[in-house]
Amino acid sequence: MHWRPLIFIVLLFTTTAAGAAAGPAVTITGGTVTAAGVSAGGDVLFYGLGLDADGYVSGVRRWAETITDDDRDGTVSFRTTPAVPQRSLWVVVDLRNGQYSIAAPAGYPIRAAELGRSFFRRSAGGVLDVFAYRKPYLDLLYVHPGGGAWVIKSADGRPDDLDALPGLTAIPLTSARRIGTAGERPREFVPGGILVAIDFYTMTIYAGRLEGATLNGAGR
């Protein structure tokens, strides 16, 4: 019997800016996530969340790493041990041109989260730096234009949750930690930034490029 590797797939959907090329083409094979079609010599961000089944309990695995296309061939791979879980969601961002793609292993559905109207809020000083998510758990990625990538991990009721309502997690950018060599923490969310929010309890994901109209309508 000949063994054949299982290849978990490719791009499940991409987001492109008007007039720009599509996001990276992503393949997931065992413990390797590969992005093709990225900027030659550029940095590529791999951000993922997965659930490892272990009887009645699922362990949460998280990945957030920036890899440089050192050989300038437009293809970059991120390797992890053990293999990528079947229940996992990935976002791959070309940090040079801001194009991104969302992927998951073959057969695992990507379920988009619905956001309420006030998912961006202003802190007491009037700065637009709070993201309010109507989910009990929050894993957030924010790619700030020209300012690198930042992540937040929190949950409803934790000390950094600014909203006392149950089932709503409101987290400020001051809770974010940098990925790789990002510079100073962004002061606020701005148009053109990329935001990804994953709730591991429901394995739903929101991903989008921020627009001025959305941010201008945010309240306190």
Q: Would you say the pTM of this structure is higher than 0.85?
A: no
Phi/psi at 69 (nearest 5 deg)? Answer: -80, 80
Over residues 66-110, the pLDDT tens digits come to 999 999 999 999 999 999 999 999 999 999 999 999 999 999 999
- What are the structural domain ranges in the chain? 11-103, 120-216
Q: Are residues 144 and 193 in contact, defined by beta-carbon separation less than 8 angstroms?
A: yes
Contact 216/160 with Cβ under 8 angstroms? no
pLDDT over threshold 70, residue 2: no
The CATH code for residues 11-103 is 2.60.40
Is the predicted pLDDT of residue 6 greater than 80, yes or no?
no
Give residue 7's pLDDT: 29
State mean pLDDT over 116-128.
78
Higher pLDDT, 74 or 54: 74
Please state, in angstroms and rounded to a whole number, the distance separating the CA atoms of residues 1 and 102.
35
Placement of tokens 């229940």 in the chain: 87
Q: What is the arithmetic mean of pLDDT over 187-197?
A: 93
Question: Which range among 2-16, 21-35, 64-78, 168-182 shows the weakest confidence by mean pLDDT?
Answer: 2-16
